[in-house]
Amino acid sequence: MLTIRNAEPADIPAIASLYAEEVRERVATYEYDVPDEAEMTRRMREVVAAGYPYLAAELDGHFAGYAYASAYRSRIGYRWTVENTVYIMPGAQRRGVGKALMLELIEQCAARGFRQMIAVIGEPGNGASVALHQSLGFETVGIFRGLGRKHGRWLDTVQMQRALGPGDSTAPDNE
């Protein structure tokens, strides 16, 4: 059974552990130093305090992944655009967890009045993430060549975009 819910402080050990593996072993994030649980708690609080959703998934009663939205850029003109982040436990991949997290994240962001969602995907070779986002209506809008460097190599970065609600077809209510 799959459950999507708001993440809680009790999820931090699992979130920190999953993210630590990503930092050490992969290139989904270009961060080099593994943040500790206190830092992950601070980050979660900051995201939630800013009015963005932060979600956790449970599969058969076990932590299976997390997703959140945050500001795409800090300039005020970007305030209706969010960037999504999603990480899935290796044993829970390809079981619908990422899609369920993203569907709920999209719904919550649209309900909060956000109009665009951006996915920043570490390297085009991350086919699972690209396919997940494509299945949810994201379109590739660009690939930045050699934008980051990690594990001794230059990395390209995929940028994907999806409209939320009416997207850019109307002015936001809170302009």
User: For the chain, how many structural domains are there in total?
Assistant: 1
125 lies in which domain range?
Answer: 2-163
Residue 104 in domain: yes
Q: Is 141 a member of any domain?
A: yes
Mean pLDDT of 47-51: 98
CA distances from 106 to 4, 53, 115, 138 (A): 13, 10, 10, 11
| CA dist list (Å): 166 to 38, 52, 77, 81, 104 | 38, 19, 17, 13, 17
Q: Where residue 155 sits, what CATH number does that domain have?
A: 3.40.630.30
**Exposed (0-12), middle (13-18) or buried (19+): which is 150, by Cβ within 10 Å?**
middle
Mean pLDDT of 95-115: 97
Tens-place pLDDT, residues 152-171? 999 999 999 999 999 999 99
Q: Nearest CA to 82 among 47, 32, 34?
A: 47
- Mean pLDDT to the nearest integer, 62-68: 98
What is the average per-residue pLDDT within 24-28? 92
